Amino acid sequence: MKLEFLYEKTLTGTLNAKKRKQEQYRKIVSHLYYNGASSIAEIVKTAKISQPLVASLVEDLLGFGVILENGIGESIGGRRPNLFCINAEYQYVVGVDINLHRLNLAVFDMNNHLVYREEFKEFELENNSEYCQALAEKVNIALETINVSRERVLAVGISIPGLVDAEKGLTHTHLSFAEEGVCAYLNRKLGFSILVDNDARAMALGEKAFGKAKDKKNVLCLNLSNGIGLGMILNGELYSGKNGFAGEFGHILIDPEGTLCSCGKIGCLETLTSGKILVRQIREGIENGQESFLAKYEKEGKKIDLRAVVDAILAGDQFAIDQLNKMCEYLGKGLVTLIHLLNPEMIIIGGRLAQAGKYIMSPVSMWMNKYAMDKISSEMELVNSDLLDDAALMGTMANVMKKVVSNS
């Protein structure tokens, strides 16, 4: 899908001339987006365009309003240089993080700041046009609330669980009802360019751009919520595989004699270790008379969901902690296979279960130490995500900006 900055719609000349100009402008915008306020000399170095041409392009971009003057920098001999930066309010990116039971919506300015953030609980993911219609309405309400005109929307980035072909804009597990694909469908409904990717890969992009994977080259990002997702940064790039389906870590076979998984196979990792299974085991334990903070929940008519379980763990509920501990052995074993194969420098644990903090990090680390080859595991860091619930949302922003400034 072609993404254009607002000013690019006004460029004139032959197709080739327009394309060349667009590329030159984007090199400058890209430099300022990734490096912040910079002088012309600094832009020349990364954009590899001559100094007089950069000066002239910067003048144009100031005229378009996409960049602004930003004070005076330090002298490196001679006159102190003028600095330029992106105009944060020039355009906006809408981020939509679709979960099975809730929807997170955000609007970002060009400085990656959240100018709008809303979580819609009990927004059940359904494979139909009504769901997309409701989603489109939420996007429109968000833009009206913060008074952003429709022409100022650069694109909408979506993250969603399941199999996603980001290149083709197709989702195969959820929102697969429209033959044209979810991106084309929402593009017709909303009138904006739409980008989609799998939630774990969006999280990995978020971690790479804004979180602990910044400046790292080989990082595995785990999305531990109801299911298990995996986003892989390999050699500095997001790895998607042939069809964009890489990272289905939750569906590797662990127990051939095990139980049926949501994917139709038997004994996947997700059937032994996932938020969904943890919640189910805790509910079953309580039904069988197990003592727990959560037993009170049931009596009060409240739902025991993953959020409630994580809260109980953090409050020290022994039964919930024990159940999580048991699950971590399978997770640890699964992760050991990954680190033996890929030799990452870091594994980031994100998603709702990551909020259990030390109660998940310590047992996972212990099981990994037990099963991994010391030489491979000892220099690898296992860390908790700082971005927590926002990682996938931040990833949608990173995905859109990567696409627009790389001009692909």
Residues that bind Zn ion (CB under 5 A): 251, 261, 263, 265, 268
In the complex, what is the shortest distance from the CB of residue 248 to Zn ion, in angstroms, rounded to a whole number? 8
Task: Output 30 or 225, the one with its CB closest to Zn ion.
Answer: 225
Strands 170-171 and 164-165, sheet pairing: antiparallel
The number of CA neighbours under 13 Å toward the Cβ of 48 is: 1
Give the nearest distance from C-beta 107 to Zn ion in angstroms.
35
Rounded to the nearest whole angstrom, what is the least distance from the CB of residue 251 to Zn ion in the complex? 4
Residue among 43 and 269 whose Cβ is closer to Zn ion: 269
Nearer to Zn ion, 81 or 267 (CB): 267
Beta bridge partners of 74: none
CB distance 270 to 251 below 8 Å:
yes
Minimal distance, residue 200 CB to Zn ion, in Å: 14
Closer of 195 and 268 to Zn ion (Cβ): 268
Q: How far is the CB of 261 from Zn ion (least distance, A)?
A: 3
Judged by beta carbon, residue 83 or residue 268, the one nearer Zn ion is 268
Residue 73 or 267: the one with the smaller Cβ distance to Zn ion is: 267
Question: For the sheet containing 237-239, what is the strand order?
Answer: 237-239, 228-234, 219-224, 346-350, 381-384
Helix (H, G, I), strand (E, B) or coil at 384: strand
Provide, rounded to whole angstroms, the least separation between the CB of residue 297 and Zn ion: 29
Task: Give residues with Cβ within 8 angstroms of 165, minimum separation 6.
Answer: 171, 172, 243, 244, 245
- Write the DSSP string, 282-296: HHHHHHTT---HHHH
* Distance, CA of 238 to CA of 402 (rounded, Å): 11
SS3 content of the chain, % helix, strand, coil (to 5): 45, 20, 35
